[in-house]
């Protein structure tokens, strides 16, 4: 007779169900759940029992709606498949969770349109704040978010217009280039790829050029190469070919400063394929110090970023901002990178 009730959502118990079961009012239940106000031990127990018996779970939507604030953070990341970012994402999630926040994650693939759309969705979810690992550089969307009163912290990428925590990219580049200079290299190339945000790339390249100049070496545009972004290894013909051409000739570079470990490792892979030996023929320095850089077989000399500090401070800045509700001026935190010397660098073949 009656149509089969296709209820998939067997109604979740509400605070009212608990109240009835414990023979108290909604508010009392609410009070014991939130652990506020004074509730007599007996009432508390009755309520708690009722909660357990009917398996009640507060509805965060309803709570957040009335409180007009969620405890959810947005985490915007360009490429979760890049170990540097996945490690950072993991750390951020840990800190957020420890501070009582859940995390909605958005992978933007580095596309600004996608970034904007995802951020829009985060806003509709009324996230309490947004952590951006990697940032397209579109200051407008940032401004729009900030204008809405939603705090943003940019992690691992320096950004003027918002709270941010990042390593000193110039200093990092300096460490890398100084190391190469010290080894005797003079023709040092800067190799980057679109995986690195513009801001960051500029700073690293700036540091690279400045350090060269300071050593009396004039940077040459011929020694700058932009590689296609990963999916690296196998099947890809483009980057190896570009690298080959780049290294070709008598005054090709003897060392590569690559703006990011993933690309550095890809470059080494391509070099291997080309029969160019690292570091015998060419030295390579990366940036980030992702876990795999430490593998004996890769042993990539690189500029290490303090990932834990980045994530922790990022979370702290954001939490502080969210919970204080102040929107003072942006706070920039600069962290010091360190050079990790491994076996991808050595003195040049024929130092001059």
Partner DNA sequence: ATGAAAGCGCTAACAG
Partner DNA sequence: CTGTTAGCGCTTTCAT
Residues at the interface with DNA (CB under 7 A): 11-12, 14-16, 23-28, 30-31, 33-34, 37-40, 42-44, 56, 58-59, 62-63, 65-68
Contact between 306 and a copy of itself per CB under 8 A: no
**Taking Cα atoms as reference points, which of 106, 204, 173, 155 lies closest to residue 313?**
155
Residues in region 232-251 near a copy of itself by CB under 8 A: 232-234
Q: Which of 1, 2, 3, 7 binds a copy of itself (CB under 8 A)?
A: 7
> Please, which residue, 31 or 70, has the CB nearer to a copy of itself?
70
The rounded distance, in Å, linking the Cα atoms of 22 and 293 is 59
Q: Which of residues 154-213 bind a copy of itself (CB under 8 A)?
A: none
Count CB neighbours of 59 within 10 A: 13
Q: Quick one: tokens of 138?
A: 């579109």
Among 15, 75, 177, 212, binds a copy of itself (CB under 8 A): 75
Q: Report the distance separating Cα 9 and Cα 1, nearest Å.
A: 22
Shortest approach of DNA to residue 232 CB, angstroms? 44
Please report how close the Cβ of residue 85 comes to a copy of itself at its closest, in angstroms. Answer: 8
Looking only at the bridges linking them, the beta strands covering 188-193 and 72-77 are unpaired
**Considering beta carbons, is residue 149 or 221 the nearer one to DNA?**
149
Instruction: Give CA–CA dist 71/101, Å, rounded.
Output: 5
| Bridge partner residues of 134 (DSSP) | none
CB-side exposure of 157: number of CA atoms within 13 Å? 28
Kindly report the backbone phi and psi dihedral angles of residue 213, in degrees, each rounded to the nearest multiple of 5, phi listed first: -60, -45
Span interacting with a copy of itself, options 171-179, 183-191, 253-261, 322-330, rule CB under 8 A:
322-330
Beta strands at 163-167 and 188-193: parallel, antiparallel or unpaired: unpaired
Residue 39 binding target from DNA, a copy of itself, none, CB below 5 to 8 Å by type: DNA
Backbone angles phi, psi at 325, to 5 degrees: 75, 5
Q: Which is nearer to DNA, 8 or 235 (CB)?
A: 8
d(CA 246, CA 253): 8
CB of 195 to DNA, least distance (A): 37
Pick one of DNA, a copy of itself, none as the site partner of residue 16 (Cβ within 5 to 8 A by kind): DNA
Quote the CA–CA distance of 214 and 206 in Å, as a whole number.
Answer: 12
Rule CB under 8 A: say whether 352 interacts with a copy of itself: no
Structure token digits, residue 105: 């994650």
Q: Is 273 in the site for a copy of itself (CB under 8 A)?
A: yes
Closest CB 187 distance from DNA, rounded Å: 60
Considering only residues 47, 265, 285, 317, which one is a binding residue for a copy of itself as defined by CB under 8 A? Answer: 265
How far is it, in rounded angstroms, from Cα 298 to Cα 283? 12
| Cβ neighbours of 207 (radius 10 Å) | 24
Binding site for a copy of itself (CB under 8 A): 6-10, 12, 55, 57-62, 64-65, 68-70, 72, 75, 79-81, 83, 86-87, 89-90, 93-94, 97, 102-107, 118, 120-121, 123-126, 148-149, 230-234, 265, 268-269, 272-273, 291-292, 294-298, 322, 324-327
């Amino acid at each position: 007779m009656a149509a089969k009730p296709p209820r998939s959502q067997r109604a979740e118990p509400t605070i009212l169900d608990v109240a009835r079961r414990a023979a108290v009012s909604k508010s009392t239940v609410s009070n014991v759940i939130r652990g506020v106000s004074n509730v007599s031990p007996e009432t508390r127990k009755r309520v708690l029992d009722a909660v357990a018996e009917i398996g009640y779970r507060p509805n965060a939507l309803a709570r957040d709606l009335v409180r007009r604030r969620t405890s959810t953070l947005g985490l915007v990341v360009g490429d979760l498949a890049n170990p540097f970012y996945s490690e950072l994402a993991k750390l951020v999630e840990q800190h957020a969770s420890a501070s009582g926040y859940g995390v909605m994650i958005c992978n933007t693939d580095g596309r600004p349109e996608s970034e904007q759309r995802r951020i829009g969705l985060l806003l509709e979810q009324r996230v309490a704040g947004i952590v951006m690992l990697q940032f397209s550089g579109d200051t407008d969307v940032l401004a729009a978010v900030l204008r809405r009163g939603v705090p943003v912290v940019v992690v691992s990428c320096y950004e003027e217009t918002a709270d941010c925590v990042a390593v000193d990219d110039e200093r990092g580049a300096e460490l890398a280039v100084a190391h190469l200079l010290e080894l005797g290299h003079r023709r040092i190339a800067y190799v980057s790829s679109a995986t690195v945000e513009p801001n960051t790339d500029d700073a690293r390249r700036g540091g690279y050029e400045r350090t060269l100049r300071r050593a009396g070496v004039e940077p040459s545009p011929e020694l700058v190469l932009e590689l296609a972004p990963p999916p690296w290894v196998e099947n890809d013909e483009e980057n190896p070919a570009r690298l080959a051409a780049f290294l070709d000739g008598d005054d090709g570079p003897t060392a590569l400063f690559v703006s990011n470990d993933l690309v550095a490792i890809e470059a080494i892979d391509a070099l291997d394929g080309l029969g160019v030996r690292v570091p015998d023929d060419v030295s390579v320095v990366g940036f980030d110090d992702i876990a795999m850089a430490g593998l004996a077989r890769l042993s990539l000399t690189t500029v290490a970023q303090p990932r834990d500090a980045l994530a922790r401070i990022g979370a702290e800045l954001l939490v502080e901002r969210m919970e204080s509700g102040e929107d003072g001026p942006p706070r920039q935190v600069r962290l010091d990178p360190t050079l990790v010397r491994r076996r991808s660098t050595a003195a040049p073949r024929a130092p001059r």
